[in-house]
Amino acid sequence: MNTSQKKYLIAVIGPTAIGKTALAIQIAQHFNCEIISADSRQFFIEMAIGTAVPSAEELAAAPHNFIQNISVFEEYTVGDFERDAIAKLAELFLTNDYAVLVGGSGLYIDAILKGFDDFPDVEPDVRESLKANYELHGIEYLQQQLQLLDPVHYEKVAKENPQRLMRALEVCIGSGRPYSSFLNIKKNSRTFTPVIIGLEAGRQLMYDRINQRVDIMVEAGLIDEARELYPNKSLNALQTVGYRELFSYFDGEFTLPFALEEIKKNTRRFAKRQMTWFKRTEGAKWFDFKTPLTEIINYIEEKV
């Protein structure tokens, strides 16, 4: 192991239900360090079951940061997370050469590892206008506008994600320049060296794990949790797989069995998108999710 005073951020990435939390805890215990969670839905206090927040035992096994730290009623952007997490890492690195970053939110992982692109501030009424048009005309309106204003980014964006489309459009409209023109221009420097561990499994095995996790969530009280949140279903934080489908059930649009199957189907689709995103991660070393811990620790120690 290198004995220099360099700082290392060990990132654990991969699709939902693959075992990232368990591995992150084991790595944190080995290096006697803390965990930074980069799961953008586990931030929210009110969304414990449907986001698979680590259990009390897991939280006690290693210090976690950014778990259930804000309310669904608060606005919290990837830029806010980058600022707060980098500040927390600076604090942790004062007394430790290691920290662990874990999560399935690719954009949030990238914001910490590489820095967040420097976008201009945009007037709030631009986003309000986009939201109104989205509600009136549907996602096709957002897709058409982005294709017109920024065909380069349109080819790369998740076209079924209205939040991503609106974010790109508000920058296009507010700045008068394509969203893509701001990408990869200015990144904040990082004082740590990343060591990136990816977890993967065969597709059918991954899908079986997802289906099983949804069943466990339902047994743990997901339906009651969603019912409590239902009056606020329009909040941005609640536009999340596992809640949206149950809101449709409460609205009478879905039967309960259909809603639960939709949750499984949409979670499987989400996992597929996660893998597409994470497989582009530069420098990541991929391991089968059943790989013995000693093999992963040996790899990390070789890198540091």
Residue 276 annotated as lining a ligand binding site:
no
Count the residues in the chain: 304
Q: In a 3-state reduction of DSSP, which class is residue 282?
A: coil
In the chain, % helix, strand, coil (3-state, to 5) comes to: 55, 10, 35
Two structure tokens written together for 75? 């606005």
Was 18 annotated as part of a binding site? yes
Q: Is 19 annotated as a binding residue?
A: yes
| Inter-residue contact 104 to 274 (CB < 8 Å) | yes
Q: How many Cβ atoms are within 10 Å of 176's Cβ, its own excluded? A: 9
Known binder of ligand: residue 88?
A: no
Is 20 part of any known ligand binding site?
yes
Is the Cβ–Cβ distance between 79 and 51 less than 8 Å?
no
Q: Per the annotation, does 252 bind a ligand?
A: no
DSSP SS3 for 65: strand
d(C-alpha 219, C-alpha 215), whole Å? 6
| Angle, vertex CA 168, rays to CA 199 and CA 175, nearest 5 | 140
- Answer for the pair 179, 171: CB distance below 8 angstroms, yes or no: yes
SS3 of residue 287 by DSSP: strand
The reply, when asked if residue 15 is annotated as ligand binding, is: yes
Cα 19 off chain centre by:
15
Annotated binding residue at 52?
Answer: no
Annotated binding site for ATP: 14-21
Annotated binding site for substrate: 16-21
Annotated binding site: 14-21
